[in-house]
Amino acid sequence: MSLSLKHSASVGDLSTQQILHLLDRGIAMLVFVLTKRRVTSLFEALHKSGQEAPGFVAAMMQASTGTAVSMDAAAWQMMCSNPTASIRAITASSASKGERIHHLVRRLYLSAGINFFAIRSRYEGLVKALALHFDAKHSPHTMLGNNITFLNAGEGARFHPTQVALDLLSIVSWYLFGEAIMADSGYRMSHPNFLAAIQQFLQLSREDRLARIAAVLEGKTVCFSPDCAKSRVVFDWRSAGPKLGMKFLFATPDNPEFRFDSRYLQGIDHHNVDALVPDQPFDVLYKLRWRVEHQPPHVRQLIATLNPSFQIDWRFAEHLRTRKKSAFFLDALPIDKALPSMTSDVEDHPNCLCWLEAFMALAMRMAYIEAGYKCWENEEVVAENCWQLPPSQSAGLIQTRSMTFTEYEGYLRDHPIKTATHVNRLLNGCNLDHLRPVGLSDLVKKLLRRLGFSGPIIAAEDVVPDSNQDGLHKDVMWFPDARLHEWRPEILDVIHMLSEGGMTYNFIDGTSRMVRKFRVDTSKESKVVGILRCPRGMNPESTPDHPEPECIDGHEEEVPNTSVFTLYGPDDCRRARCFYCESIHTAEEMRTHMAALQ
């Protein structure tokens, strides 16, 4: 049975055999890439009958360079019609008019003959939701057929299957054909030895080819470094690697800002180390860029200090080449010029395969297009390969969170807790995002009510983040038609301290519809009056040995609701100092005391 994968949402949706089949087809596509030939056989029947080949667009709703270009190039190589980069402008125009994403897909399918949609989005579950929607049976008058394929070109903080498959193809190709690649002389347009090795491999039976691919990957250890916490590539890798018998090593700073959440690694063979050295037991070193755009200023400064110790230099690379069990390193590219993952002198080192991987990108994208097309005509294959949402996920939740643009806005008013956590889903108002630990929203809500806030409060606890976040669960709060920074600005500093610097505050202007951020200034001390109470001044579990409060703040007749605290320190370790007894308390101590009082 030929490989049939109608949609690619996550590598985790594929079986082991399907992953191996996909890699096998990627190797086959390398023949066309090396010989500069287009694939004419896939749509040959359509061309002979005078029909147009299926159209292809790369709808990049997030910034993309390499993925977008290679997707467009793969569509051209596969003889698709209408491959174009202009869809990026079309998508922006559609969003500005408030069009729903699945309506845009329908229009492009019906009016322009577009059948392949490669989508990059910040919304997790978008590709899966679209696939479920268009795979459902529709009435004949809708003119929708069974010939739409969605390819995930990077989604939220969880999924990037085309990149993970490309990584696997690069690893397999190096182990199978590395000697042939190195035997080709440099500065030549053709790679005869590489091509001959691939052709010889393809002469084997399919079973033998799949067995050799599986043997290459079995037992290999991939080391991810240095910033793993927010990487969608790592998250999707952790679904694919164990199916192929692979192990993981995470070489990251000993800091939760960079370390991958262990809750997602249960049952997976992995180890954590807090330094990167060439003697570590890995076969492949996968360099990830520092995601500084998601970090507060003090963490960015820390990254600048840490980068040299996690950078690959010539000495490090030579050690990988000469050690008893040689290892190579990958970089998904691009290399950040401000925080480079490697020094410039090792970019062309024999053990650096980042440029080989860039070369492989076209072939892997071509394999995905072929896989999607091959299941259009066979309804039994579609039924077999059309996955369902895991039982742990709610189909309704995924669908409502994933119909992007202005889809949520009406839905939010009726089902606010089941929708995305972005403030721009409100017509007007503000929100508190990334409240941690889970349950903090309940304390904040009671605090606001005690202080006299009377507006509506919508809270969602234990939310799985979307959109390039760190993967940790959180609470989110919405305040329709309200602005906390205007009502009582110091309350934001208090909440910021209670969430240990993780909280973000956003508000939307009901007139301009522009989302704006209000940043808490933690560079200086701030005084808050009448909001917090001193843990030493009011102890609900007082004993006969301590019948009286230790702080005057506990005497209501002397200090009637005028407790005074000074908040100071950086984002992640801000402290509260009582004005009366000068005791200093951490965020955890203040949260515990607030919970006891309420």
| CATH number of the CATH domain containing 494 | 3.30.70.140
- As a whole number of angstroms, the distance between CA 365 and CA 384 comes to 23
Alpha helices, DSSP H, located in 419-462: 440-450
In this structure, what CATH number is given to the domain that contains residue 138?
A: 3.40.50.1370
**CB-CB contact of 457 with 431 (8 Å):** no
Q: What are phi and psi of 461, to 5 degrees?
A: -100, 150
Cis check for the bond before 140: say yes or no (omega within 30 of 0). no
pLDDT digit string, tens, across residues 352-369? 999 999 999 999 999 998
Token couple for 443: 């304390």
Domain membership of residue 77 (yes or no) is yes
Which stretches in the chain have pLDDT values below 50? 1-4, 85-86, 379-425, 466-469, 512, 540, 544, 546, 557-561
Same domain for 507 and 444: yes
In a domain, residue 359? The reply is: yes
Residue 196 neighbours by CB distance under 10 Å: 14
CA distance readout (Å), 593 to 448, 530, 537 = 16, 15, 11
Are both 413 and 367 inside the same structural domain?
A: no
Verify that 164 and 93 share a domain, yes or no: yes
Specify whether 165 is located in the same domain as 286: yes
Strand order in the sheet with 149-155: 81-84, 55-60, 114-121, 149-155
Considering the domain architecture, whether residues 158 and 177 belong to the same structural domain is answered as yes
Q: Is residue 4 part of a domain?
A: no
Residues 430 and 366 in one domain: no
Q: How many domains does the chain have?
A: 3
Model pLDDT, residue 472: 66
Are residues 328 and 448 both part of a single domain?
no
Going by C-alpha positions, the residue among 590, 488, 588 that lies closest to residue 538 is: 590
Q: Which residues are within 8 A (CB) of 155 and not within 5 positions of it... i.e. 6 or more apart?
A: 9, 119, 120, 121, 122, 123, 124, 125, 126, 127, 232
Whether 384 is covered by a domain: the verdict is no
Residue 391 domain flag:
no
Residues 94 and 55 in one domain: yes
* Residues 487 and 568 placed together within one structural domain of the fold: no
Are the C-beta atoms of 84 and 373 separated by less than 8 Å? no
Q: Is residue 321 part of a domain?
A: yes
Quick one: 493 and 557 in the same domain?
no
Domain co-membership, 416 together with 330:
no
Q: What is the pLDDT of residue 63?
A: 66
Distance CA 132, CA 130 (A): 5
User: 57 to each of 76, 151, 496, how far by Cα in Å?
Assistant: 11, 10, 43
Residue 6 domain flag = no
- Long-range contacts: 87-93, Cβ < 8 Å, 24+? 87/57, 87/58, 87/59, 87/60, 88/58, 88/59, 88/60, 91/59, 91/60, 91/61
Tell me the residue range of the domain where 484 lies: 406-517
CA angle 83, 87, 92 (to 5 degrees): 175
387 is a domain residue = no
Q: Based on the domain organization, do 469 and 509 belong to the same domain?
A: yes
Domain end, chosen from 517, 548, 567, is at 517
